[in-house]
Chain A
Amino acid sequence: KAGVTQTPRYLIKTRGQQVTLSCSPISGHRSVSWYQQTPGQGLQFLFEYFSETQRNKGNFPGRFSGRQFSNSRSEMNVSTLELGDSALYLCASSLRTATMNTEAFFGQGTRLTVV
């Protein structure tokens, strides 16, 4: 079956603009999480969505937001872009139920460059 799909793969934006990234999880997976990967800070957890609700959030400013649709697809939005937002943004999905949470499957990521 298809893996986690992230679009677009590459983006170049200007400081002050906003950007929206998209993630389609593996079919049947209802938990979607977002991570930021930079050379300096490594991989950092942004937030998790499950059943269209944000369940957990990392330590990022309010400029970073997201949402999840009824088909479990998720979007992440970053407003008022800063140079430091340049990173690889990774989406991961898992099969989460009331009693268990399976391993995370990651997409290939969206490479965002802010100039």
Chain B
Amino acid sequence: GDSVTQMEGPVTLSEEACLTINCTYTATGYPSLFWYVQYPGEGLQLLLKATKADDKGSNKGFEATYRKETTSFHLEKGSVQVSDSAVYFCALSDRGGGADGLTFGKGTHLIIQP
């Protein structure tokens, strides 16, 4: 079945450092790929998405590129802020990206220190 693997952390960085959170996936066909973010005490928020190979999703300074050849969707940001501290989930869907049947990674806890 489908699966998503991501580094679990915690990942601790200083403010203004560069961020990369690795995500690789296994799926049949051509899934849509997502990054969700969960702040303390909150539900998940969609951060960015890509629906086909070589697409780049971007939002709030974060970027991720759908790499079919390496089955990867790594999350990157050039300069992180304390407010980026949260848990980040990589996910895939082979059903067009709605609420049903999303397969999530275990989540990466990101801590940004001032």
Contacts and interface: CB of A to CB of B under 8 A. Distances in A.
Contact of B43 (A45, A100, A103, A108): A108
B99 A42 contact: no
Contacts of A32: 99
Interface residues on A, range: 20 to 34
B78 interface: no
A104 B102 contact: yes
Contacts of A56: 95, 100-101
Interface in A33-85: 33, 35, 42-45, 48, 50, 55-56, 58
Interface stretch (B12-20, B21-29, B64-72, B103-111): B103-111
Contacts, number: 76
Contacts of A100: 96
Contacts of A45: 100-103
B99 A92 contact: yes
Contacts of A4: 43
Contacts of A93: 99
B98 A104 contact: yes
A92 to B, nearest CB: 4
A31 interface: yes
B114 interface: no
Given A94-B98, A101-B96, A42 B107 contact: yes
B104 A33 contact: no
A107 B43 contact: yes
A106 B96 CA distance: 17
Interface of A: 4, 31-33, 35, 42-45, 48, 50, 55-56, 58, 90, 92-94, 96, 100-109
9 contacts: A31-B100, A33-B102, A43-B91, A44-B104, A45-B103, A58-B101, A92-B44, A105-B99, A108-B41
